[in-house]
Amino acid sequence: AQSVTQPDIHITVSEGASLELRCNYSYGATPYLFWYVQSPGQGLQLLLKYFSGDTLVQGIKGFEAEFKRSQSSFNLRKPSVHWSDAAEYFCAVVLDDKIIFGKGTRLHILP
């Protein structure tokens, strides 16, 4: 079955440190890939997307993600996190017109 896996339920990093959130999908073809962010009690906001072309994509708020076909991964990165980045992050894929979300990774920032 098609699935999206975010292996880390919680991640804690210090402010100013680098960040990488993992996302893997299981499907033979290359889907459309997305990262969304959700602040507490709010809706989701699109951070970035990959459809085709350059495998390193830039998003809003200084985030980037790299698509690696060989690993079926689409990891989200940020070189230096800010306290305002504390939120829940969701990876999503679209395949055959169906949107599948991962279960999310909650990011905690230490001052």
Partner 1 sequence: DGGITQSPKYLFRKEGQNVTLSCEQNLNHDAMYWYRQDPGQGLRLIYYSQIVNDFQKGDIAEGYSVSREKKESFPLTVTSAQKNPTAFYLCASSKTTSGNTGELFFGEGSRLTVL
Q: Residue 40: which region, alpha, beta or left (left: phi > 0; alpha: psi -120 to 50)?
A: beta
Residue 26 found at the interface with partner 1 (CB under 8 A): no
| CA distance readout (Å), 65 to 4, 21, 76 | 16, 9, 4
Choice from 13, 21, 44, 47 touching partner 1 (CB under 8 A): 44
Of 16, 15, 19, nearest to 65 by C-alpha is 19
Nearer to partner 1, 15 or 95 (CB): 95
Residue 94 found at the interface with partner 1 (CB under 8 A): yes
Judge contact between 75 and 25, C-beta under 8 A.
no
Choice from 1, 29, 41, 52 touching partner 1 (CB under 8 A): 41
Choice from 21, 90, 107, 109 touching partner 1 (CB under 8 A): 90
**Distance in angstroms (rounded) separating the CA atoms of residues 55 and 33:** 11
Contacting range for partner 1; rule: CB under 8 A; set: 54-62, 63-71, 78-86, 95-103: 95-103
Write down the residue that tokens 């999908």 correspond to: 25
- Binding stretches for partner 1 (CB under 8 A): 9, 32, 34, 36, 41-46, 49, 51, 90, 92-94, 97-99, 101-104
